[in-house]
Structure 1
Amino acid sequence: MRNIYIILLSFSLISVKGQVGINTTTPQKTLDVNGTLYVRQEIRTGGTSVVTGAPGAAGQLFGVQDGLSDTWKTVQIADGTGSLSLFYLNTTKDITGIQFIQTGTTGSYNLNSAFTTSPATPNWVYMEGTTDNFNVTKNDNLSKAVLSFQTTVQITRGAGQNWTTGSASYACGIFLSRNSGQFELKAVRNDVVKGVAGTYKIFNLNVTLDALQLGSYQVKAACTNRNLGTSGAGTLTTLGIGRAVDATTLNSNMSQSIMTTSVLQTY
């Protein structure tokens, strides 16, 4: 008789609205459990008084939807990413850009080299608006960051210059800092723009950084001048990267730079 009494007492907390509370006297839902839940077999959702709910399938996740019925969800992982899932996605833009009026340094660029501003070495200048921050929270050495940078490069001639065709070479790179350390070069491409005053072209740089370690990261795009062509009088061509230096063919909206950062981690 004592066992029967205990069972009846456990289900005695039924309100006038038909709400049942377990370990609570103020149930907020039809069934309100104040404690841990141990399910030995399956959870079914979406059922009615005449239809049995769905138990979900292998690999599905239980999704809670605001204002809608909770249900099972299939998580789609893009082919080629293996066991990685998208943890961060953001796009930044810079509308200020950079202008160079002097010849810089030509030559090669070394992976993981530090950011430098000296004219005697690559005269890097940041596209400050492209700065982005992300975190790697998995310590399995499998995380990746996919970075895509795009800008517009234009040449023009200054007052008094009379050249018909000018040219300029340049380079743009991606710099990365971990845990507030120094910024290091992780990817670079160089190119040349040549033509009449106002000539411009689109520049793209895409890179995937593998095996990122646990930590906080900051990423920036930067560009540098290499060799600016001269007119017959020895006057250098003006080079704009992410900036309109000749408004007759380009403006700030057209010349702006953008960078998209995607972070993939195991889930």
Structure 2
Amino acid sequence: MKNIYITLLSFMLISINAQVGINTATPQKTLDVNGTLYVRQQIRTGGTATVVGSPGVSGQLFSVVDGVSDTWKTVQIANGTGSLSLFYLNTTKDITGIQFTQTGSTGRYDLNSTFTTSTDTTTPNWAYINGTTDSFNITRTDNLSKAVLSFQTTVQIARGTGQTWTTGSASYACGIFLSKDSGPFLLKAVRNDVVRGGVGTYRVFNLNVTLDALAVGAYQVKAACTNRNLGNTGAGTLTTLGIGSAVNAATLNSDMAQSTMTTSVLQTY
């Protein structure tokens, strides 16, 4: 009889304190299943001896926090067309920029027009800000993919050698060009603006665009800017225009003037 009591007591201690493994010799939890688990009803977490745990709600995922406590985590999905997930995010920068010293075209800019470096003042004289180049791929075939492109730079005016004007101005435009599968770069977004004031005056320029329904392919994106009218008030000649480039070091340096391009690609999952 004594032997029986000892055996029963040992069994009870094992049942209370031991971790049980199914198809594993090293269980990590009270019950550790190495294989497929089929649950016919609910999984509840966070319970105690007197409180029933939570079964979670629709849209939540089961998560292990710090390898110790288990809980349900809510997954936030942005509203919009389809269910989109962030597939790519990158920011490029350029501290060289570009400079213009002559008046260019003041005409219009057409969507999907090709990039041109013509010096003819009747056509846009575009120049790339080379460091803002980025590449991404679209792999989904449902035509719901989006690319969100954000370009920022600093624009400054200054006098050239021998110039004496006190108040200057310059108009300009910056655009975002996109190429698909090594094809031509086409204009996808553009804004024009003006900077005016004394020598060294500068301002920040922002351009944001969302491109919808992108087809499967390999894409490359670049930012470019062009000069429009470089005028001034007072004695002297044309204004020197720097875009992403410090043309007057007294008020701006290359780090302050730098250009950035942030690319975010959303695809269905």
Question: Same fold per TM (> 0.5)?
Answer: yes
Check whether the contact 1:174–1:222 (CA below 8 A) recurs between aligned residues: yes
Q: Partner residue of 2:110?
A: 110
The letter for the 1-side match of 2:168 is G
Write the mapping of 1:79-90 to structure 2, written as runs, cut at 5 A. 81=80, 83-87=82-86, 88-90=88-90
Distance 1:103 1:249 in 2: 24
Distance 2:127 2:108 in 1: 17
Q: 2:204 aligns with which of 202, 205, 230?
A: 202
Relative to structure 1, the CA distance from residue 57 to residue 256 in structure 2 (aligned partners, 3 Å threshold; closer, same or farther) is: same
Shift of 1:24: 4.3
Write the mapping of 1:63-212 to structure 2, written as runs, cut at 5 A. 63-78=63-78, 81=80, 83-87=82-86, 88-120=88-120, 121-212=123-214
Check whether the contact 2:163–2:236 (CA below 8 A) recurs between aligned residues: no
Residue-by-residue CA offset, 1:118-148 (whole Å, 9 max, x unaligned): 3234332222232333343432222222222
Q: TM (normalized to structure 2)?
A: 0.79
Distance 1:89 1:66 in 2: 27
Q: TM (normalized to structure 1)?
A: 0.79
Residue-by-residue CA offset, 1:58-99 (whole Å, 9 max, x unaligned): 122233445353422112344x53544450443333222111
Residue-by-residue CA offset, 1:1-38 (whole Å, 9 max, x unaligned): xxxxxxxxxxxxx9xx8343334455555444343333
Any stretches of 5+ residues in structure 1 without a counterpart?
Answer: 1-13
The letter for the 2-side match of 1:102 is Q
Check whether the contact 1:175–1:220 (CA below 8 A) recurs between aligned residues: yes
Alignment of 1:39 with 2:39, yes or no, is yes
Relative to structure 1, the CA distance from residue 54 to residue 248 in structure 2 (aligned partners, 3 Å threshold; closer, same or farther) is: same
Alignment of 1:213 with 2:212, yes or no, is no
Shift of 1:241: 0.4
Relative to structure 1, the CA distance from residue 96 to residue 72 in structure 2 (aligned partners, 3 Å threshold; closer, same or farther) is: same
Distance 1:187 1:156 in 2: 27
Residue-by-residue CA offset, 1:207-264 (whole Å, 9 max, x unaligned): 1111122334332211112232378887432110011101122222322222333333
Distance 1:258 1:117 in 2: 22
Q: Partner residue of 2:58?
A: 58
Any stretches of 5+ residues in structure 2 without a counterpart?
Answer: 1-13
Relative to structure 1, the CA distance from residue 160 to residue 102 in structure 2 (aligned partners, 3 Å threshold; closer, same or farther) is: same
Distance 1:25 1:103 in 2: 79
Relative to structure 1, the CA distance from residue 37 to residue 70 in structure 2 (aligned partners, 3 Å threshold; closer, same or farther) is: same
Query: What is the SS of the residue equivalent to 2:256?
Result: helix
- % identical aligned pairs: 77
Aligned length: 253
Check whether the contact 2:82–2:144 (CA below 8 A) recurs between aligned residues: no
Distance 1:20 1:127 in 2: 63
Distance 1:177 1:30 in 2: 56
